[in-house]
Amino acid sequence: MPERRTVATHCPYCALQCGTRLTRERGVVSVRPDDFPVNRGGLCRKGWTAAELLEVPDRLRRPMLRRGDELVPVGWDTALDTIADEIERIRAEHGADAVAVFGGGGLTNEKAYLLGKFARLALGTSQIDYNGRFCMSSAAAAGTAAFGIDRGLPFPVTDLSGANAVLLAGANPAETMPPLMQHLTGDLIVIDPRRTPTAERAALHLQPAPGTDLALALGLLHIAVVDGVADRDYIAERTTGFEQAWQRAVAWWPERVERVTGVPVRDQHAAVRMLAAAERAYVLTGRGAEQHGDGTDTAAGFINLALALGLPGRPGGGYGCLTGQGNGQGGREHGQKADQLPGYRRIDDPAARAHIARVWGVAPDELPGPGRSAYELLDALGTENGPRALLVFGSNPVVSAPRSAHITQRLSCVDLLVVADFVPSETARMADVVLPVTQWAEEDGTLTNLEGRVLRRRRLQDPPEHVRSDLRVLHDLAVRLGEPGHRYPTTPRAVFDELREASAGGHADYSGISYARLDSGEAVHWPCPGEGHSGTPRLFLDGFAHPDGRARFAAVEPRDAACDTEFPLTATTGRLLAQYQSGAQTRRVPALTEVAGEVFVEIHPDTAARAGLADGMSARISSARGSAVARVRLVPTMRPDVVFLPFHFPGAGRANLLTGDALDPRSRMPEFKASAVRVEPEVAG
């Protein structure tokens, strides 16, 4: 490598995918922000410290094989031969679906694509899903139903800069993606049970009880119609299903909504007035609104509001979802979801199966059908009819999965657990085989950010000597399982060229996007059907993606809330500025752990006093599923009936020890954001 090298690339964290310039000089890597449209020269604390990931002391540098209670270093041939032999044994005894794959929303497009292909051809299994099911699935299901296509933001991030009003439902970008805040210069309406840093900047903060967001969305739609600010011409010309949706919303008058949600009537009216009066307005949802057992309906409720106001598909307005993980958009487009094939095709669509089979050189009936969703897959591990082996790429379900203690137990029941990672995550420590793989600055590839823009990740430096790329791992395993090597390319460009062909004609059509175009600096948003096409930065301007060109209202209503006297409080979970996802990466960066290095529970002072708790004490937070231990932080702006825990921390501080197994019936999203709990002092000893 040259003494000094600089590359233009992107931050390894969230879906904003801020532009950065990495420089390696005399063995030291530095990060500087680039003047990229989404971050405009800004970076958050995580982005500034991202280079420290490359040199963390416990970086995985050799394959590891479990011998007794220990993981010991071995050579690559030993590790891969062990995996292949065990897979062959398990398939022979229990069938192809006894081997499962769990992917991640941080994998590049190339990795996500080849992982799905590997699962369905080399393993022959239907059992593949990924951690994005825990992140984006409800908004994706609602967006697809409403618009015929799912893209986090169907417009460029920069369009938000001209908005007069933006409603943020369950989103806290001031902590989760701070550079986005420079685009949110108009009046903010923030819906969040906590007084977050984003809510602090809002012109109006609506503070509903967790799990009541759908009732609030219906109430806002009710006000828009009754107060006469709904865009009747737009509804008639560009949508269907309004009357059915209105029949549900008519029963949610403001006073009833206040009783259910706690949001005052005056604030409900103020929110609708602000959106209706704005020349340019947007409605955006995040995990707080979506990670519920009715998350798809909740996202649909906010889409209904946006449609009633005539926002989607018009310049200066729209609905969007703030995608979370770095490749949360691309990761769900190319085949690592249980029900999906590349190009955002449905796996149960005969035409889609025929197209992908042709690209892969197999017969359509050789492709498996739909498999289990993420939680259901993990829950089935080691059971009589469930998978007996699991291969994990880019995920840490011991911390990130709901009902964490139960899922950890299920992981311990499999015959073979393989984890490919670059740090020894909590899941990797449980594995039978650990494979050390490249990380962001050591690899080329593409990612797709929250606005559907396809981006180039560029390699700055070589990985450590015994570290391999995920693509090489998949190739080597596939060959050992009897597949032809050419079917699994090991270079990102070759994989991407095949991905382009596989995606052609699908909703997420990348066929006109090439490395050459991206390397020239061209900004290309999918769909881009053909090399002469300029891409589609703004969807729906001429019509929605349904055959009739119209958007669909959804007839939705809230579930009845249960009252639990044993667990009288509601725990909600979320993210912190200085940590990311399960924390496996960021908890290894000293500058970040100095700011947020341990789990805490936010609680109203009056609620704490009734429980015998004081600031700084250790509290036990218990639900019907389990309990977590956290240090108390008294926060006067909290609702007295709500407590908050960040979910980045392992061990006894895992917030997901409290969460349960309720799933959205359509998206299969777990209910992370509302768990009935009680709090009490933690007894030492």
Q: Are 190 and 289 in contact (CB under 8 A)?
A: no
Is the pLDDT at 525 greater than 70, yes or no? yes
Tens digits of residue pLDDT in 21-40: 999 999 899 999 999 999 99
Q: How confident is the model at residue 3 (pLDDT cuts 50, 70, 90)?
A: confident
Q: Are 16 and 177 in contact (CB under 8 A)?
A: yes
Tens digits of residue pLDDT in 105-140: 999 999 999 999 999 999 999 999 999 999 889 999
Among residues 596, 666, 128, the alpha carbon closest in space to that of 369 is found at 128
Q: Are 470 and 107 in contact (CB under 8 A)?
A: yes
What element of type H or E holds 299? helix 295-308
Is the pLDDT at 2 greater than 70, yes or no? no
Tens digits of residue pLDDT in 628-681: 999 999 999 999 999 999 999 999 999 999 999 999 999 999 999 999 999 999
The reported pLDDT for the residue numbered 304 is: 98
C-alpha to C-alpha distance for 289 and 295, rounded to whole angstroms: 7
Is the pLDDT at 607 greater than 90, yes or no? yes
The reported pLDDT for the residue numbered 324 is: 83
Tens digits of residue pLDDT in 477-503: 999 999 999 999 999 999 999 999 999
Domain topology for 95-131+328-434+470-491: Rossmann fold (3.40.50)
User: What is the arrangement of strands in the sheet containing 445-448, beginning at the earlier edge strand?
Assistant: 445-448, 453-457, 524-525
Q: How confident is the model at residue 1 (pLDDT cuts 50, 70, 90)?
A: low
C-alpha to C-alpha distance for 456 and 8, rounded to whole angstroms: 9
CA atoms within 13 A on the CB side of 601: 36
The pTM of this model reads: 0.96
487: left (phi > 0), else alpha (psi -120 to 50), else beta?
alpha
Is the pLDDT at 176 greater than 80, yes or no? yes
C-alpha separations of 372 from 100, 334, 367, 379, 534 in Å:
10, 17, 15, 10, 37
The reported pLDDT for the residue numbered 561 is: 67
Helices of type H across 309-447: 350-360, 374-380, 397-400, 404-411
Cβ neighbour number for residue 520 with a 10 Å cutoff: 8
Q: Using alpha carbons only, give the angle 404, 405, 411 rounded to the nearest 5 degrees.
A: 85
What three-state secondary structure class fits 433? strand
Q: CB under 8 Å to 521, separation ≥6 — which residues?
A: none
C-alpha to C-alpha distance for 134 and 131, rounded to whole angstroms: 5
End-to-end CA distance of the chain: 54
Tens digits of residue pLDDT in 355-414: 999 999 999 999 999 999 999 999 999 999 999 999 999 999 999 999 999 999 999 999
Domain boundaries, the chain: 95-131+328-434+470-491, 137-326, 569-681
The one-letter amino acid at 451: E
The reported pLDDT for the residue numbered 323 is: 85
Q: Are 177 and 322 in contact (CB under 8 A)?
A: yes
What three-state secondary structure class fits 246? helix
Residues in the chain: 685
φ and ψ of 149, to 5 deg: -160, 150
C-alpha to C-alpha distance for 14 and 173, rounded to whole angstroms: 11
Is the pLDDT at 564 greater than 80, yes or no? no
Strands (E), 175-305: 187-191, 204-206, 239-240, 281-285
The reported pLDDT for the residue numbered 221 is: 98
Mean pLDDT of the chain: 96
Asked if the 137-326 domain carries CATH number 3.40.228.10, the reply is yes
Task: State the average pLDDT over residues 452-458.
Answer: 97
C-alpha to C-alpha distance for 283 and 294, rounded to whole angstroms: 19
The reported pLDDT for the residue numbered 562 is: 62
The reported pLDDT for the residue numbered 373 is: 97
Is the pLDDT at 195 greater than 80, yes or no? yes
Q: How confident is the model at residue 683 (pLDDT cuts 50, 70, 90)?
A: confident
Q: Are 63 and 46 in contact (CB under 8 A)?
A: no
The reported pLDDT for the residue numbered 612 is: 97
What element of type H or E holds 89? helix 76-94
Helix, strand and coil percent figures for the chain, each rounded to 5: 35, 20, 45
Is the pLDDT at 12 greater than 80, yes or no? yes
The reported pLDDT for the residue numbered 89 is: 98
Burial 212-225 (b: 16+ CB within 10 A, else e): bbbbbbbbbbbbbb
Crossing angle (nearest 10°) for helices 470-480 and 109-117: 10
Q: Are 641 and 568 in contact (CB under 8 A)?
A: yes
Q: Using a CB cutoff of 8 Å and minimum separation of 24, what contacts does 524-530 make? A: 524/453, 524/454, 525/156, 525/451, 525/452, 525/453, 525/454, 526/151, 526/333, 526/448, 526/452, 526/454, 528/454, 529/504, 529/505
Burial 401-422 (b: 16+ CB within 10 A, else e): bbbbbbbbebbeebbbbbbbbb
Is the pLDDT at 685 greater than 80, yes or no? no
- Token duo for residue 161: 């800069």
Tens digits of residue pLDDT in 296-346: 999 999 999 999 999 999 999 999 999 889 999 999 999 999 999 999 999
Q: CB under 8 Å to 557, separation ≥6 — which residues?
A: 214, 218, 248, 251, 297
Burial of 243 (0-12, 13-18, 19+ CB in 10 A): exposed
What does CATH list as the number for 569-681? 2.40.40.20
Cβ neighbour number for residue 542 with a 10 Å cutoff: 8
